[in-house]
Chains A and B, each alone.
Chain A
Amino acid sequence: MTPTRIAVGALLLLSALPAQSTGTEDLVLRVKPSELNLTLGATETLRTEVVDVGGRPAKGEVLFFSLDRRGVSVDKSGKVTALRTGSFRVIARLVGAANGSRVVIPVRVVHAKPAAIVLRSAPQRVFADTIVELDAAIIGEDGRTRPDLTVDFRSSDPKIVEIDDLRRIVARSAGTCAIIASGSGLEQRHQLVVVANPVRTLTVTPNVKQARTGDVVHFAVATADSAGKRIDDVPVQLAVQAKPTDHRGPGASGQIEPDGRFVAETPGVYTVIAACGKLAASATVRITPRNVQQQLVKVGHGEVFHVHTSDLWVWEGVDGRDYAVTGTWGADGEAYFWDVTDPRRIERIATVKVDARTVNDVKVSKDGRICVISREGASNRKNGIIVLDVSNPRSPKMLSKFTDNLTGGVHNLFIDSGFVYALSAGRRYDVIDIHDPSAPVRVSNFELKSPGHAIHDVWIANGIAFSSNWRDGIQLVDVGNGIRGGSPQKPVQFASYAYPSGWNHAAFPFRSATTKRFYVIAGDEAFPYGLSIENRPTYPRGWFHFIDFTDLDKPREVARYEVPEAGTHNLWVEGDVLYAAYYNAGVRVVDISGELLGDLYRQGREIAWFLPTHHKAKVPNAPMTWGPQPHKGRIFFSDWNSGLWCVELAPQRGRRR
C-alpha cells in the first residue's frame, strides 16, 4: 500500500531551520469516524481535521499508515481497504513534530454474511454398524469459507443413523434417511443409504507369533460374507491390549496402526482386537527384549579446550594413514588437522588459520586430497570457502579462496564428484566446480521460492542433494542422480517433507539394509533454554525424525528417536546403525534395522551411549556433542566443548538399562 499523506498545507522546504521548529507541536489532529467496521473487501475513507489549541482550524499535513498491512491497507487520502477479517489499527499522525498528534483508528473487519452450507465429506452409502466421519462448512456471500462458524448435524431417523457427540455418523440399521446440516440459519439435507453389514466372518492374523521390541508386526484383517466371499470396503477398527512383562507401573507400551502395523516398546504379551459391526476377532503375539545393548569405551581424545570445536571429517590420507580435521566456533578462524592412525594417541599435526571467527564446516574429498573449509565472521565480510590441498595433512596448502556470492557466510558445505555445495547466507546453496581447485567456478545454485525460506545444511548421496531447510523441511534435489534429469549445473527438486516445529537442521539418507525401504532422517536443533558459551552447560531439545521416502510422492514420518531432555545435532548412518550426536546427551549408537515405527528410544533400540566430559573443557564436564563419523570400525566425533574423540563399541558390562 502506498502510504500517505494529505497535503493540507504547503510543504516546508528543506532549509536551515532547526528540526524542532516545525510549529506543529500545539496542533491537534481529529479523525472521523473514530473507528471502522468493514466487511471483508470493503473500503471507507477517513476524514481529518487539524485544529490549534483554541480549536480553530489550522493547516497541517497528515500521514496515514496501517499497523497490519496484510489486514487493512490505507492510502494517502485515508481510504481504508479491508483485506482480512480481524481487528486491526490504522494510524493517522500529524507530520512535523517529534511528539506530533497521533490518532489510532481501530478497524474491525468481518466476514460476509453466511450464504450456504457445503458438505465436504459425506458418503452416499454406508454399512450398518459402522462409524463414518462428516465434514461441512459454511460459505459466505463472497464465496469464502467462514471458519468462524460451525455446522451441526442431525439425523431424520435416529433408528437408522445417529449422530454422536463427535459429529460422526453411527449407522444403526439398514434403510434410508437424511443427514441435516444446519448453522447460522442455514440448512442442507443429505440423503444417505444404510445397507446391511454383509460381514459374517472376521479374522485377524499376525505375520509372526513372536518378535522383539521395536520389530514391526503386521496384523492382516480379513472380512467375508456368509458365502465366504471377501469384502474389502467395510471399515474395521483395531485396538491393542497389553500385558507387559514388567507390570510395575507400566506406561503405554504398544501401538497399532489402522493398516495393521504393530510395534511394542516393552516385552510382554499383546493382543490385537479387530471389530467390525457386531463381530470381533483377536490375535496375540509375544514380544521379547531386543537385547542389542553394548557399551562405548573411550579410545582416544584430541583435546581442544581453549575454543569451541565445530564439525569434523575423518579420512584415509593418500599415504594410507588416517587423518581428521576439525573446525572451531566463535574463535580465531582456525581448523585443526589430526593424525588419528593410532586413535589411542590422537596427534594434532597442523593448524590452518583464516580470516574468520567461525570455521563451522570442514569436508575432505573422497580421494583425500582436497579439503574445503567454511568461513563466517571474516573481517572483510567476504567469508566464502577456502580450498586446501591436504595431500600432506601435516602441511596443508591453500589453493584458493572463493567468496563470490558467499559473502553472507558459509555455514555448511559438502564435496561431491568435484563440486562443492556451499550454503550462502542461510538462503540457498551454490554449486561450485572445483575440478581445478585453484580456480573454483560457480555453476548453479538451488534456492526455494517459499516466503521467508532459509536453509541450514546440505548432504549429497548418489547424486541427490538432501538439504535441511528449517520450516521448509527436507528437500531432495537431483544433482546428478538422473531421477529427474538433474545435474550439478541444473539442480532439480523432486521431493520434500516438512514438519510443524520448523526445527529441521540436518538430514541423512539411508536405504534399510534389511527392508530396502528408503528413509531420510531429519534432525532437529533447538535451544529453548538458550546456549551457554562459557561456564554453564546447555540444555538443547529435539529429536530425529524418520521419514519413509520409499514412495517419493508420499513421504511419511513413521518413527522418531528422542532422548529425553536432550537435543539433537548431526548424524551418520552406516549399515543399519545410526550414529547420533546428541549435544548434551553425548554420542549415541542406535539399531535402526528392520521396519521402523514409533519411538525407537523407548523400544530399546539404543545400542550404546557415551558422554564426553573433561574438567578442563571449554565448558567443564558438559557434553555438547557436535558430529559423529564412523571410520574403520571406530566412532570419531567432535564435541563443542572438548575437541575430537574416538570411541568403540564393546560388550556391555554391568546392569542393563
Chain B
Amino acid sequence: MSRTAWAACLALVAGVQGQVADSKPVGAAAEPRRAYSVLVCAESSDEVYKLRFDGAQVAVEKVIPVGYQATEIEGPHGITVAPDGKHWFLSMAHGKPFGLLYRFRSSDDRVTGRVQLGLFPATMQISRATGLLYCVNFDLHGDMTPSSVSIVDPVEMAEVGRTRTGSMPHGSRLSPDGKRHYSCSMMDGFLHEIDAVSFERTRRLPLGDGTGAAKSAHGGGDGADDRCRPTWVQPHPRLTRAYVCLNGIAQLAEVDLAGWKVTRRWPTGKGPYNVDVTPRGDKAVVTYKGAQAVGIWDLTRGKELARVPTTRPVPHGVAVSDDGRFAFVSCESIGAQPGTVDVLDLRVGHRVASVAVGLQAGGIAFVGSRPLR
C-alpha cells in the first residue's frame, strides 16, 4: 500500500539520519549486544511499525497497514504480544461504532482473526493463568458513563465476557500470576480489580489525594475523584504492589495490592501517562505527556533518577526490554509531524536512539530480544 511506501521512505530517511542531535551514545557494554524488537501503533495513520534496535541504532523493519474503513481513521491504539510470541494483538479504537480486536501471526504479520469489542477498545494483556485477553473499552468520547473490560479467548477470537468497571477505563494490566486484572477509570479516579477467573470485579480503590471533587460528575459514586485522572496501572513483577499514573495531578502513586491502599505518592512531570517497570522491579519509566519528557524512577527510594526530554511532543507509551536495559517510548507529536520512538538506556538515563514512525505514535509493545552475532 502506498502509505506503507511513504512510511518506509520516512523511516529510511530517519534511520539514515540516525540519532537525534542530543542523543548520547551507549557506554561500553560489558555484556554481549542484543537485538530488540518492538511494535508501535501509529494511531492517526492506521499503521503498525515493527522496529529493530541493535543497541545503538533503531530502525523501521516493516510497516503494517491496518483497518478496514478506507476513509476513516480507525485508530490502532492498544498492542500486545501473546506469551508464546506466536501472535500479536491490536485493538482498533473506532468502528461503526464498536472497535475491533485483531490477531496477527508474528511470523508474517498477517491477520488471522478479529472480533468486535466495545467502544474504543484500548490497552490489553493476555493472562498466563487463564489464557484469555483482557481489553479495556476506553469509551473515550461522549457521556462519561461506566464502561467495561472485554474478555476474549484469543484462540477462537471470541468475546467470552464483559465486566463493567468505571468511566474511561485504561491501562489494562494483569498481576504476575495472571489471576487478577487491574485497570484505572480516568474520569472517576478509581483503580479496579477484576478476578481474571470469575470475571467479577472484586475491588475498587479511590486514587485521589483529596484535592479533587469528593463526588464525581461522572457517576463514580463514593470516593470518586474527577481530578486525579489515573491513566495507567502497572503491577510490580515480584511484589504485591502496583504503580499508577495520576495524569491530572502529576503524581505516580504506589498501591499496596494486599492492603488495597495507596502507600506512597511521588510528584512527577506534567501529565504522567504510561508507566512500565523493569523485570527486576527496581525501576519504573513514566511518560510525561504534558512535559515532553520521560521520568526514570528508582522504586525503592521513590526518587526520579533522570528526566529525559523526548524528540517530539506528547510522549505516550513506554515498554521496557526483557533485560531491563532499555525503554522504548512512543511520541505522538502533533498534526502532520510524524511521531517517533525514542530509546532510553536505563543504566545511564539517556536517550540513545530515535526513529520517526507514523502519525500519532501511541500503543507500544516489546516483542523480544536475541543476541547479536
Contacts and interface: CB of A to CB of B under 8 A. Distances in A.
Given A331-B336, A407-B141, 10 more contacts: A3-B151, A14-B175, A20-B128, A67-B153, A95-B179, A332-B336, A405-B141, A407-B140, A409-B94, A425-B119
A67 B160 contact: yes
B179 A12 contact: yes
Contacts of A95: 129-130, 179, 197
Nearest to B238: A16
A470 B142 contact: no
Interface string A1-26: 11111000001101111111010000
A39 B120 CA distance: 37
Between A332, A408, A427, the greatest number of chain B beta carbons within 10 A of the residue's beta carbon is seen for A408
A213 interface: no
Interface string A343-376: 0000000000101111000000000000000001
B263 interface: no
Nearest to A76: B198
B83 A98 contact: yes
A17 B156 contact: no
Contact of A534 (B6, B159, B180, B197): B6
Interface stretch (B247-255, B327-335, B340-348): B327-335
B70 interface: yes
Contacts of B313: 379
10 contacts: A14-B175, A14-B258, A61-B197, A65-B153, A68-B158, A89-B156, A329-B71, A409-B94, A411-B72, A425-B140
Interface string A315-335: 000000000000001111100
Contacts of A181: none
A332 B359 CA distance: 10
B268 to A, nearest CB: 19
Interface stretch (A240-248, A525-533, A584-592): A525-533
A424 B143 CA distance: 10
Interface in B3-17: 3, 5-6
B239 interface: yes
A62 B337 CA distance: 50
Interface in A529-586: 530-536, 538
A183 interface: no
Contact of B130 (A68, A93, A329): A93
Given A332-B336, A531-B71, A67 B6 contact: no
Given A358-B73, A407-B141, A536-B2, A97 B240 contact: no
Contacts of B155: 102
A94 to B, nearest CB: 10
A487 B44 CA distance: 36
Contact of A377 (B2, B44, B131, B238): B44
A253 interface: no
Contacts of A67: 153, 156, 158, 160
Interface of A: 1-5, 11-12, 14-20, 22, 61, 63, 65-69, 76, 89, 91, 93, 95-100, 102, 329-333, 353, 355-358, 376-377, 379-381, 405-409, 411, 424-428, 452-454, 470, 525, 527, 530-536, 538
B199 interface: yes
Given A14-B257, A19-B178, A379-B314, A405 B336 contact: no
Interface residues of B, number: 61
B199 A379 contact: no
A357 B336 contact: yes
Nearest to A526: B70
Contact of B142 (A22, A424, A533, A536): A424
A582 to B, nearest CB: 15
Contacts of B178: 19
A65 B45 CA distance: 36
B301 interface: no
Contacts of A411: 72
Between B155, B175, B179, the greatest number of chain A beta carbons within 10 A of the residue's beta carbon is seen for B179
B360 interface: yes
Contacts of A100: 129, 131
A16 B241 CA distance: 10
Contacts of B258: 14
A452 B96 contact: yes
Nearest to B43: A377
B360 to A, nearest CB: 7
Given A4-B198, A69-B160, A98 B84 contact: yes
Contacts of B2: 532-536
Given A376-B73, A377-B73, A5 B198 contact: yes
B104 interface: no
B37 to A, nearest CB: 20
Given A19-B178, A98-B84, A425-B141, A3 B161 contact: yes
A102 B154 CA distance: 13
Contact of B71 (A380, A427, A527): A527
A226 B71 CA distance: 66
B336 to A, nearest CB: 4
A18 B198 contact: no
A351 to B, nearest CB: 13
A425 B198 CA distance: 33
A18 to B, nearest CB: 7
A19 B177 contact: yes
Given A14-B240, A66-B160, A91-B153, A19 B3 contact: no
B257 A357 contact: no
Contacts of B61: none
A410 B316 CA distance: 23
A597 to B, nearest CB: 32
B335 A333 contact: yes
A376 B74 CA distance: 11
A19 B199 contact: no
Contacts of A428: 142
For the complex of A and B, the 8 pairs showing the least CB-CB separation, nearest first, are A408-B141, A531-B70, A534-B2, A332-B336, A425-B141, A527-B70, A65-B160, A379-B334
B130 A426 contact: no
Interface string B255-281: 001100000000000000000000000
A172 to B, nearest CB: 53
B140 A381 contact: yes
B142 A426 contact: no
A14 B197 CA distance: 14
A65 B8 CA distance: 42
Contacts of A525: 71
A452 B128 contact: no
Contacts of A533: 1-3, 6
Given A3-B161, A530-B70, A22 B97 contact: no
B323 interface: no
Interface in B152-178: 153, 155-156, 158-161, 175-178
Nearest to B95: A454
B161 A65 contact: yes
B336 A379 contact: no
Contacts of B160: 3, 65-67, 69, 91
A454 B178 CA distance: 36
A355 B334 CA distance: 7
B198 A452 contact: no
